[in-house]
Each structure stands twice: as C-alpha cells, then as structure tokens.
Structure 1
C-alpha cells in the first residue's frame, strides 16, 4: 500500500531587495513611456525637421561625394548648400513675384475653370452636366470648393513658411543638413561602435544602402523634376497659356511623385486650363506635350539619370504618397517616395529571392500539357526545361 504524497507547497519570499528592484523596473518603464510620448507628441515638429534634414543630406550625397575627392568633405557639403541657395535666390529674384501672382490668379479662378470644363464637355459630347449638380453630389458648393482650394494653398504655403521662413526652424534644418552631410562617415562609425558586433554589420549595410540607393533616387527625381518643369514652362509660354510658370512648376513637381504615370496626372490641370481659355487648342497641345515628354523621359532621360537607383512601381509610389499625405500632410507626401525607395533597397539587399517552384499537375491538363506528356520519355523529344529563376545575391 503506497503512501499518499502531500502536494508540494512553493513559498515565495519577497525580500526588500526584490521589492526595490521591481519598483525600479516599474518606474523605468513609466519613464520610457512618458519619454516616448514626449518625443512623439510634444517634439513631433523636431522629428519632422530631423527626418527632412536626413533626406536632404541623402539627396546631396552624390554631389558631396564627388567634390570630396578634391577637397575636405565639410567644404564640399558647404559648397553644395551654397550653390543650391544661390540658384534658389536667383530663381526667386527673377520669377518669385510672377509665380506668386500666377498661383493666386489660378486659385481664384479655379471655380470658373471647373465651370468652363463642364460646359466644354457638354458642348462636345451633347451631355447636360451641371457644375452645381456635380458639386452637390460630392457635398460641395462652388464657394466651398474655392475655400478648400485656398485652404490647400494656405497649408502648402504654411508648411513652406514654417520650414524656410521661420528663422529658428530654418537655422535648425540647415545646421542638421550640414552636420549629417559633412560628418556622415564619422557619425556612421560612432553609432556602429555603440552596438554589439552582430548588429554592426547590419547597421553599416543599411547606412550604405540608404546613401547609395535612396540618395541616388532622390537626386535623380530632383533632376528630372527640374528638367520637366523647365521644359513644360517654356512650352506653355510659347503656347501663350495663362499662368504658364505656375503650371510648369506644377507639372514638373507632381510628375515626379509617381513615376511613369505622374506626368499624365500632372498634365491634366494645364490641359483643362487650356481648354477653357479663349483658344481651346492650347489644352489639346498641352495634353499632347505631356504624352510626348513622358515617352522621351522613359526612353532617354530616366535611364541615363536614374542609373542604378532603386525603381518603384507606380502603384506602390502612388499608394505611398496617399498614405504619407493622410498621416503627415504635405511633408508626408514629400517624404513618402524616398522612404519607400529606402525600404525597397533594403529588401533587395537582405532578402534572397528563391527559385520559382513549378506547380504540381492537377489532373486537368490542357491540350498543350497532354501533348507534352505524350512526347515525354520514349515518345519523341522531351520538353526543354524552364530557365532558372533569376537569383539576387544580398549586397
């Protein structure tokens, strides 16, 4: 007869040292949570400035790296910043007042442009659309549409004024850009030494990939936007289109938000403005110019300017811009595509593509599969194997 074993009782004794350690852990967690809340909410503007400075330094990297071969890196970064400031100052001196006047006129006449566009569609296609009916279906009135356009313009000008007009923010942005660009290599090594050996290689690879791929992408987008805006402005000026400078800048900047289809989206506004003008053929010529320039950019300009920078699918770029604008406004829309370019370059670096596995036969073979099975071993020539899938080796 076996003895019944008593259940073992486990007693936990809390010593004063354990109590103090638990209390210290709780206080530390609360401190981290409060600090994170402060960083995300109270210091959100500073984080935006730091992120913008980081991507501006990435855009400067190709030019700074080339100049650094002949001079100190700090002098190269300062030279690039001064050159950009001089070009911007010259542009604002020559066209600043004209651009501001054209943007104001374009925003003020936006309701009339919409009304004229609807009237043109009714005349050409025999429809009976009314601008009031369309706006009512969208829960808008002409006054609200004009107000929304002015609000959007005000937000854009407000962001630009906050970044470049406010003295403190402008000084902070320029200082961070210069520091990140001039001392980037030393900052990279200093941060790497703070990490364990296992993470140092990953961190250095991420940093290098971000500089090469993302910096090249941002630089290529800026060059393409400048070429597109300048060419479009000249074409619109020759055509005699109203607000030719504002529409040219609109076309060049918006076209580079979404590669490939961005030009078609950006040329819609100049085409509508031209169609409702006293000479409607200007709108058709502007539309044809957008299609022609897109072909020239895809076949000639972009392959030479973009080089080895990361390529982004138009749908992915468009979704990134919409998401960035929804979360962070205009700044999020500006930084969405560079952020996606960085993520895609990191995926190409660290993720290894596997060989494509052919699906197993389901028993419902088509005529081609049946013929291939009959011509298999012993029945004629065997089908040639599929080529191996492309492999990507992590950089």
Structure 2
C-alpha cells in the first residue's frame, strides 16, 4: 500500500456493501429507528403531559362509563334497538338520573357536611359524656387531641370549600367543557363498539385478532359487570341506611348513608365495617348507646340480606382476587390516582389478573412439603367443637343457600363466549396428555391428522380439508356408508390398499407426484 492510499478515505468501510463482514445486521437500522422514535415520544409525552392530562383523564372516565353502561346497551340491542339509539338512551338516562339526584339532595348534602364539620367538637363532647356515663372511662379532652386540628376542621375546611366554590363558579365554562367531552366520548365509544373493534383488528394478524378480542372481552366483562352491579348495590345500601337513620332521628343522615353505601361496596373485606362504623358512632354520640346498637344490628342484618339475596341476583360474576391483594390495590391506586383510582382499583386489578392468566401457561406443581400444611397429630377440643358446629349448623345452612352464594369468592365464572375464545386460542395447551405421549415441551407428537384423499390435488384444490366444497352441504349417513363399502371392496380386490395402477390409496403412505 502506497502512502497516498493510506491518506485516502475508504467509503466502503463507512457504508459497507451487502455481504461485507463489516456490514451490521439487517435489523440494526430498524432497531435504531425504533429507539429514536421511542426516545422522541417519551420526551414529547414528558414535556406535554401537563397540558393534556385533563384530556387523558376525561377519556379514561368516558371509557369506564361506556363499559359501565354496556350491559344495558346490550340488552336494548337484543330487543331490536339500534346500537346508536341504545347508547344514546342509556347515556341520557344516566345523566337525567344524576341531575335528578343532584337537584334533590345536592343542597342538603352540602349543608349537612358543613354542619357536621362545625358540630364535630360538640359531638365529640356528647360522645365523651355518654361513654363516661356508660363505662366510667372518660376519653381525653379535645385539647389533648389537638385543638388546632379541631379548629381547622371548623374554619379552614369551610373557608377552603367556599374558595373552591367561587373558583368553580368562575371556571364553569371549563367544567362544562369537560363534562361535554366526557359525554361525547362516552357516546362515541359505546355507539361504535363493534365498529371500533373491527377497525383495530383489521391491522392485526388472525392470531393477534383473537388475542386482542379475548383481552377486550375479559376487561369489558370485569369492569362493566363490577361497576354496574356495585353501583346498584351501593345505591340500595345507601337508600336503606338513609331510611333507617331518618326513622331513628340520627342527624346528618344523607352523608352518613352515602359514605356507608360507597365504602361497603368499593373497599374489599373491611369496607362494610369501615362504612358502618361512622353511622354507629354518630348515632351513639347524638342519641345514646341504644341507638348506636340499633344501627349496628341493622347493618349486620342488612349485610346478611345483601349477601344471600341481593348480591347473587345483581352480581352474578365475582372477581377472583385475594382479599389482601385487593385491599392493597385499593390503597395503592388511591394514593397514586386519588379517589378515581380507588374507585376503579378492583376492576382494573381483576382485569390485569385475568389477562395474565389467559396469556400465560401454568404447569403442574412439584411434590414438596412446602406446598401444603403438615398433617395434624391430634385435634384439640376447640377444633373438634368447631368441626361439630360446622357439620351440624353451617353445612346444613350452606346446602340450602343459592348456588351463586356458595364459593363465589374462589373463582370467576366464565361466560360461553370467553370460554370459546380460550379454547380456540389455547386448545393445544389445554389438551390432556397421556402418559408416555408427551415430549419435553408437553406437546403430543404421536397424534397425526389424516389428510383426506385428493385434498392437495387439482381436483380438490377448491375444497376444504374435510373434502367438502365451500357452501356444499354434508352428505347423509347412507352415502357415507356406501362410499366406505366401495372403498373397502376396492382395497380387498386390489390387495393391501393399492389402486389399479399400483398407487397406494392411503394418503399418508404416498401421493402422486
């Protein structure tokens, strides 16, 4: 190599030709493009999120409202309604019902909440005197609990509420715009349900379409069923509680009833106790211990009626969630997304869990003592008494309960549509395997599928794999028996399954080439 060649620039080293060992793989350029697009979108979203967060929140609220009214829309469509008209009627009915409730109880609710905040110190004094008279133990004074906190409850909260009311009045146009956005997006999503799914699926392969539709069906079933059923149960709970509180003359009955209804339905496991504790304490503090016990008895009786009669009728499907996981999800979603996150924590978590179970494969468990509790050496008297009580009391009662009540928290009933989609997608994973027939991956390779005769020839090119032309009906059993008889007769005449020209008749043993 001359000195002049050493000073020149070799463009082939910068842009090597195809087949050159210095050329990077073909996927390298696409990977760099995808990384650049991802970085650009991430920076754009990070800088623009503060300007579009309210729009995203409106779209999320509209999506969940559309899923919540989906059962009502489906029922109207099954009765002959057009989907657009059914969506419009359902949404208008929801708006009218909300406005009617707001007109009837909105002013009363605000006044009772303000009165409750102002009268909380006096209510605490009444509760302390009642508790001291009943038990002899006197709770600490208000000053010991923090006088500034109680003072702020009386003054700053009300002042902040008034300031928020003024700012809300000033920004009424923005609030109306948000409500209009939510209403319009809800209507479009609900009215264009199948059309929107077709528009999304036309860009996917058939397998991806089935997976997408299965995930959509699972999420829609979980969210719509949960919101629809829980909202009805919360409304029934609040109405019954408000009627009882008004009957026994407990003050602030409207916010207490709403708090009890919402908390008992949307907080798992302990929601009933948290929601019922506040009405019990207010009834005790205002009217005495007897009224508090009366509210407690009412809550216990109503909870049994709801569990045995109302919930099985209204909430036919239950979510397969561990109680501890469900409670933690409510706390986490509430801390991150506020009240809306706590409200939607359970259906979102159940949907994610259902999708995870559908899209993943589970294996058989190994035999290990850590998989189960040890066998008891002997039973204590307490255990024997509990088993006797279960055998003679609980078991006879549970056998007479409706089937929807028993064991409803252990599994999620899957409707026929979701089960059919699961069978189509995961038939080979769910297929039972016999001993000795599985390979290492759990797939049975010994099973073969017989290809019909002439299926790949020119004569059968226009037929399906079952040998039937598209649109043609199946022949009757007599014609099948005649064909089988002629085939057997031909095989017996020509020897071990050969035609006149020596070509084997068994399609798996050889084809004409």
Tell me the TM-score normalized by structure 2.
Answer: 0.61
Aligned-pair CA distance for 1:50: 1.1
Deviation string, structure 1 residues 190-249 (Cα, Å, up to 9, x no partner): 112233444322211111111222211111101101111111111111111112122112
Instruction: Verify: 1:218 aligned to 2:227, yes or no.
Output: yes
Tell me the residue number matched to 2:108: 98
Residue 75 of structure 1: aligned partner: 85
Are 2:31 and 1:34 equivalent residues in the alignment?
Answer: no
Q: Equivalences for 1:242-321 in 2 at 5 Å?
A: 242-321=251-330
SS in 2 for 1:141: helix
Residues 103 and 78 (structure 1), Cα distance of their counterparts in 2 relative to 1, 3 Å cut = same
Aligned-pair CA distance for 1:316:
2.9
CA contact (8 A) 2:130 2:288 kept: no
**Aligned-residue offset at 1:36:** 2.4
- Taking a change above 3 Å as real, the CA distance of residues 160 and 192 of structure 1, as seen in their structure-2 partners, is farther
Q: In 2, distance between residues paired with 1:146 and 1:282?
A: 26
Q: 1:271 to 1:87 in 2, by over 3 A?
A: same
User: Does the aligned pair in 2 maintain the 1:275–1:282 contact within 8 Å?
Assistant: yes
Q: 2:68, 2:225 within 8 Å by CA — same for their partners in 1? A: yes
Q: Is the 8 A contact 1:212 1:309 kept in 2?
A: no
Is 139-148 or 53-62 further displaced after alignment? Answer: 139-148
Of 337, 340, 347, the match for 1:328: 337
The secondary structure found in structure 1 opposite 2:338 is helix
Structure with more helix by fraction: 1
Matches within 5 A, 1:228-243: 228-243=237-252
Comparing 214-223 with 26-35, greater Cα deviation is found at 26-35
Which shifted more, 317-326 or 268-277? 317-326
Choose which of 118, 132, 140 in structure 2 pairs with 1:130: 140
State the distance in 2 between where 1:155 and 1:210 align: 40
2:212 maps to 1:191? no
Structure-1 residue corresponding to 2:368: 359
Relative to 1, partners in 2 of residues 1:156 and 1:220: Cα closer, same or farther, differing over 3 Å?
farther
Task: Give the distance between the partners of 2:39 and 2:356, measured in 1 at CA.
Answer: 35
CA RMSD of superposed structures (Å): 3.8
Find the partner of 2:214 among 192, 205, 209: 205
CA distance in 1: counterparts of 2:309 and 2:173, whole angstroms: 34
* Cα pair 1:59 1:218 within 8 Å, conserved: yes
Q: Could you say which residue in structure 1 is the equivalent of 2:56?
A: 47
After superposition, the C-alpha distances for 1:134-178 in whole angstroms (9 at most, x for unaligned) are 635xx9632244568659978998999999981110010001111
Tell me which residue corresponds to 1:4.
Answer: none
Matched residues in 1 for 2:178 and 2:131: separation? Answer: 47
Aligned residues: 358
Equivalent-residue separation in structure 2 for 1:159 and 1:79 (angstroms)? 33
Asked if structure 2 preserves the Cα contact closer than 8 Å seen for 1:260 and 1:314, the reply is yes
Farther-moved stretch of structure 1 (173-182 vs 120-129): 120-129
Give 1:302 deviation, angstroms.
Answer: 1.1
Name the stretch that deviates more: 26-35 or 103-112: 26-35
> In structure 1, what is the Cα distance between the partners aligned to 2:36 and 2:375?
68
Rounded to whole Å, the distance in 2 between the matches of 1:120 and 1:152 is 32
Ranges in structure 1 where 5+ consecutive residues have no aligned partner: 1-10, 370-389
**Which protein has the larger Cα radius of gyration, Structure 1 or Structure 2?**
2
Mapped pair 1:338 → 2:356: no
Deviation at 1:75, TM superposition (A): 0.4
- Note if contact 1:259-1:313 (Cα within 8 Å) is conserved in structure 2: no
> CA shift at 1:73, angstroms?
0.5
- Please say if residues 164 and 170 of structure 1, whose CA atoms lie closer than 8 Å, have aligned partners that are also in contact: no
1:81-92 map, 5 Å: 81-92=91-102
Asked if 1:60 is matched to 2:69, the reply is: yes
Task: Give the structure-1-normalised TM-score.
Answer: 0.77
